[in-house]
Structure 1
Amino acid sequence: MSIPAPRQTSSYAVIALVAGILGWTLLPLLGSLGGIIFGHMARREIRASNGRLDGDGLAVTGLVLGWLSVAMWVIGLLVVFLFLGGLAWIATLNT
């Protein structure tokens, strides 16, 4: 009776998770982009491995953290520009 080989965790999935966490802490832009890119690469690699690789949850978590960080940056920039635009508009009314 043969023992099945243990499933290995995808290296890309681990990198995606670490990069997604870094996107919220030390490297906001690079970490977020790394989480997104490596998350997609890991999911593709896991699907193509026919059950030999594990780590889909890690890849999805890296993707979610990356996309949430990017969304927060976009919302933050919109708020800043709308706020400053509103202040400029108010300043033109008083002149």
Structure 2
Amino acid sequence: MNAVRQTSSLAIVSLVSGILGWTLLPFIGTLVAIITGHMARKEIRNSGGRLDGDGLAVGGLVLGWVSAALWVIGIVVFVLFFGGLAWLGFMNR
């Protein structure tokens, strides 16, 4: 007899949050996608085959981590650009 496998709710939340992290809720969606994605993968591993949705969790994690990396790159570029402008202004005094 085949047991019915349920999809992990955390995996679904991770994927939806990852999408929201790229659209409507950039910062919060990114954090929720990363946290729930890791929680979902652990939950799925520990379920003994009762839960499915590892692909959804991985998708949420990828969306979350790529978004987080772009946030960090954007902040670094912002600081370097405006720091460079301030330095140029200071040097021209």
> If the length of structure 1 is used for normalisation, what is the TM-score?
0.94
Q: Deviations over 1:61-80 (max 9, x none)?
A: 10111111111111101101
Q: CA RMSD in A?
A: 0.8
Please tell me the residue identity of whatever aligns with 2:43: E
Which residue of structure 2 lines up, in the alignment, with residue 42 of structure 1? 40
Runs of 4+ in 1 over 3 A off after TM superposition: none
1:16-55 matched pairs, under 5 angstroms: 16-55=14-53
Provide the C-alpha distance between the structure 2 equivalents of 1:16 and 1:80, rounded to a whole number of angstroms. 29
2:88 to 87, 90, 94: 90
Structure 1, gaps ≥5 residues long: none
1:10-21 matched pairs, under 5 angstroms: 10-21=8-19
| Structure 1 position 92, deviation (Å) | 1.5
Q: Deviations over 1:25-59 (max 9, x none)?
A: 00011100110111011001100011111100100
Which residue of structure 2 lines up, in the alignment, with residue 59 of structure 1? 57
1:65-76 matched pairs, under 5 angstroms: 65-76=63-74
Q: How many residues align?
A: 93
Provide the C-alpha distance between the structure 1 equivalents of 2:81 and 2:28, rounded to a whole number of angstroms. 27
| Structure 1 position 8, deviation (Å) | 1.1
Provide the C-alpha distance between the structure 2 equivalents of 1:19 and 1:31, rounded to a whole number of angstroms. 5
Please tell me the residue identity of whatever aligns with 1:21: I
